Structure 1
């Protein structure tokens, strides 16, 4: 099992820095944002599993030939209140570190969710006071604000799209329709759940390059996915004008605001220039074979640490 622990540790290191750094610099991601999103999720999940698994396997290594046998032996020791001469200081230290990291990740995920729910409830209460229903658009409210503003507020059956009257005055009807389609795509594709998971990952391990790079990349990718939905019924030049007008009118904050105020982090800007460049100089989507390879690599990333943990130990 000692070799298994070393392999998991090497995988954790690779997924903590060189792999996410290379992916953040890749140029193909804008051609297939869905595949890139899946790959980012696999990197985060496999990295966390490898980190915790490496410490757990190292700590349990003296108790069995594989993780299942070692766990069974550890449970017997705890239930029978026995002492184990096999476990030394560094084994106990690794086990404690694995347990603490696992609890920390789960606790941060739940804490982030609680914070998001609280923010959304307060936001919804403010909207009830400061907004009025849009007569022309279903499940859409309008706030009295001169700057062009558009975002979505998730909430299941209470989800709404929020527009400012400044936006409605600035955009032509077809441009406004593109913005609304963009925002509703965030709701239908549940982008706020992705942002929640990656924000929790960044909050739990802010020193880890993966968490910072992944959060920024995911923010951009969900904008591209929503743009692609809007492009199905809106010509690219119309969508470009809508994005540019809102970004300039809103002070360059990156609008449509995407679900950021409704999700987790209102202070993180999205790269509007990258979105506009993608629309102004469109590149063909990745071939089906390339997309399949990326999805297969994503599945393999999750399968490798899982197999190392469940199969008989190496060494």
Structure 2
């Protein structure tokens, strides 16, 4: 399994560094956010599988020609205390590293989920004290705050959308409907699960710069997906105005900003916001103000096929016999 371990290691390096950087800089992702999200998930899963698989196949090489044979040999070694020719300290180290990385990734995933659930629970308790149900929209809470705020709080059957009085005062009914549809899309499409997974990846591998790139990209793509859903019931100009009002914290005066006049780049008015939020909002506004055709079906199919191959290649390398040198 020497060859398999080398190929898996090479694939792990590619998926941990150049591939995420190239994808984060690609322009086609805004044309098909859903397809791009599938590719991001494939990169993350295949990368983790390749990292663990490279160490596992190296460690099991003396015990079999592929992963299944190696695991059977390791099981016999542990249960029957049978001798294992060629299983030296280096192979034991590789097996230990594979086990530790697997436990670390799974533990971080579960720990991140626990922390998120705990934070949401505390947040929901505060909302129960500080908010009141909306008279016009079900599963919607209103908080008394002058700043325009709109977000969703996932929680299965208890998911809610949270709005502020400031937002209700600034937005027109049409703009408010666009915001509500946007937030509802986040809940219906369970974007929180995607964000949880990539937040766990970032926590598990903070030394990997591309884990931050991935989390930012996935956050941006989920926002674009929600925008696309909102455009099914609202016109583009209404949605742009609503996003600009929420981002700027006030309604632009005629002639004072790009959104009000319909010219220029409204993203420039958002430089005072938090860096990541500014980056995402600016890209959303540019995408809405300068729409481009969606990614063609052949291109989407090619990306989906590539995503499937990313998952298939490490799987085949792990189980295919005859890859030992």
Q: Which residue of 2 aligns with 1:88?
A: 88
Q: Which residue of 2 aligns with 1:246?
A: 246
User: Structure 1 residue 180 and structure 2 residue 189: aligned?
Assistant: no
Q: Which residue of 2 aligns with 1:171?
A: 171
User: Structure 1 residue 283 and structure 2 residue 295: aligned?
Assistant: no
* Secondary structure of the structure 1 residue equivalent to 2:142: strand
Distance (Å, rounded) in 2 between the aligned partners of 1:100 and 1:165: 49
* Secondary structure of the structure 2 residue equivalent to 1:271: helix
Distance (Å, rounded) in 1 between the aligned partners of 2:205 and 2:125: 32
Q: Which residue of 2 aligns with 1:133?
A: 133
Distance (Å, rounded) in 1 between the aligned partners of 2:289 and 2:193: 29
Are the aligned partners of 1:15 and 1:210 in contact in 2 as well (CA < 8 Å)? no
The CA deviation at 1:66 is 1.4
For residues 215-274 of structure 1, the C-alpha deviation after alignment (integer angstroms, 9 at most, x for no partner) is 01000000000000000111100000000011000795999xxxxxxxxxx995252111
User: Structure 1 residue 311 and structure 2 residue 320: aligned?
Assistant: yes
Structure 2's unaligned 5+ residue stretches are 251-268
Q: Which ranges of 4 or more aligned residues in structure 1 deviate by more than 3 Å? A: 250-255
The CA deviation at 1:82 is 3.4
The CA deviation at 1:313 is 3.8
Q: Which residue of 1 aligns with 2:21?
A: 21
1:216-295 aligned at under 5 Å gives the runs: 216-249=216-249, 252=270, 268-269=276-277, 271-295=280-304
Distance (Å, rounded) in 2 between the aligned partners of 1:268 and 1:275: 12
> Taking structure 1 as reference, are residues 254 and 72 closer, same or farther at Cα in structure 2, changes over 3 Å only?
farther
Q: Which residue of 1 aligns with 2:263?
A: none
Distance (Å, rounded) in 2 between the aligned partners of 1:195 and 1:223: 11
Structure 1's unaligned 5+ residue stretches are 256-265
* Secondary structure of the structure 1 residue equivalent to 2:174: helix
Are the aligned partners of 2:2 and 2:61 in contact in 1 as well (CA < 8 Å)? yes
Are the aligned partners of 2:62 and 2:84 in contact in 1 as well (CA < 8 Å)? no
* Secondary structure of the structure 1 residue equivalent to 2:163: strand
Q: TM-score, normalised by structure 2?
A: 0.91
The CA deviation at 1:86 is 1.6
User: Structure 1 residue 150 and structure 2 residue 150: aligned?
Assistant: yes
Q: Which residue of 2 aligns with 1:260?
A: none
Q: TM-score, normalised by structure 1?
A: 0.94
Are the aligned partners of 1:147 and 1:167 in contact in 2 as well (CA < 8 Å)? yes
Are the aligned partners of 2:37 and 2:221 in contact in 1 as well (CA < 8 Å)? yes
Q: Which residue of 2 aligns with 1:56?
A: 56
Distance (Å, rounded) in 2 between the aligned partners of 1:139 and 1:39: 33
Q: Which residue of 2 aligns with 1:198?
A: 198
Are the aligned partners of 1:247 and 1:253 in contact in 2 as well (CA < 8 Å)? no
**Greater alpha carbon shift after TM alignment, 107-116 vs 241-250:** 241-250
The CA deviation at 1:83 is 4.2
For residues 183-214 of structure 1, the C-alpha deviation after alignment (integer angstroms, 9 at most, x for no partner) is 01000000000000000011001112331111
Distance (Å, rounded) in 2 between the aligned partners of 1:233 and 1:168: 19
The CA deviation at 1:85 is 3.7
The CA deviation at 1:174 is 0.3
